[in-house]
Each structure stands twice: as C-alpha cells, then as structure tokens.
Amino acid sequence: MSDVVELTIPVRSDLLVLARLTAAALASRADFGIEDIEDLRLVVEELCLSVVGNETDGTIHLQYTREDGLITVGCSLSREGGSDGRTDGRADGEANAMSLRIIEALVDEYGENMVADRRQAWIRKRRSKVAS
C-alpha cells in the first residue's frame, strides 16, 4: 500500500516545521525507528533549504510518497511574480554544500531534476532493518 501526501507552504522558515512533521508522521506509519524518523525530519528541512536558497518569496511544494518501508520526498520552489534572474533556486556556497553533505549522509538516494522549468530535488529513505 502506498500513500501520497502533498504539502504547499509559503517560503518562511517558521513553517518548515510542517514539512518536518509530515515526514515524521509518514515515517512513523511506515514503521521507521526513532533514529530514522529524526534523520528524515532533518533531511526534509535541509532539502527545502537547498531548494529555496536565499529566496524570501514564493511557495515550497513537497510531495511525500510512503510505500513498503520507503519514503520519497520531492521538493520544488515556485516564485511569486516571476523570476528574479536566478535560474535554479539553489542556495549559494557553503550553506548549500553543507545541506548536500547532510542529505547525502542520511538518505539512500538523492537527486535533482527539472520539472516544468522548476528545479526539483528529491530524496529516498528506506526503513533500517531491525536487528533480531
């Protein structure tokens, strides 16, 4: 069985808690352990920050898919009133490099692609095997 949840929030750091809570709720329903849930919460925030970069206007679109021990999260940014000249919404310099290191350390797969002229980043995290 799989679940798909879509969340759209304004670009505001105080609303990223909604992205983290959604990830935690789906991971809990997929029987992820506490450590995996906490990793996923952190990764979802870093994923959003890597896509939003220095933008202060716009909307973050997230799509979560839960299926048999696997959570996939896609994130993209829509800007209000068109583009400001930046083409990818990516964070600059060290902040982006740090976000990417955190993401890659805590997930099974990470990728980026373009969807409808918008950069989308995505992660996949599998439930850890429980020791018998």
pLDDT tens per residue across span 24-35 = 999 999 999 999
Domain that holds residue 115: 2-126
The pTM of this model reads: 0.84
For residues 8 and 6, what is the distance between their CA atoms, to the nearest angstrom? 7
Residue 131 located in a structural domain: no
Report if residue 132 sits inside a domain.
no
- 43 located within any domain: yes
Q: Does 13 fall in a domain?
A: yes
In a domain, 61, yes or no: yes
Count up the domains in the chain and report the number.
1
CATH number of domain containing 30 = 3.30.565.10
Q: Which amino acid is at 98?
A: M
CB of 23 within 8 A of CB of 71?
yes
CB 72 within 8 A of CB 65: yes
Mean pLDDT of 52-60: 90
Tokens of residue 2, six digits: 């799989």
Contact 99, 91 (CB under 8 A): yes
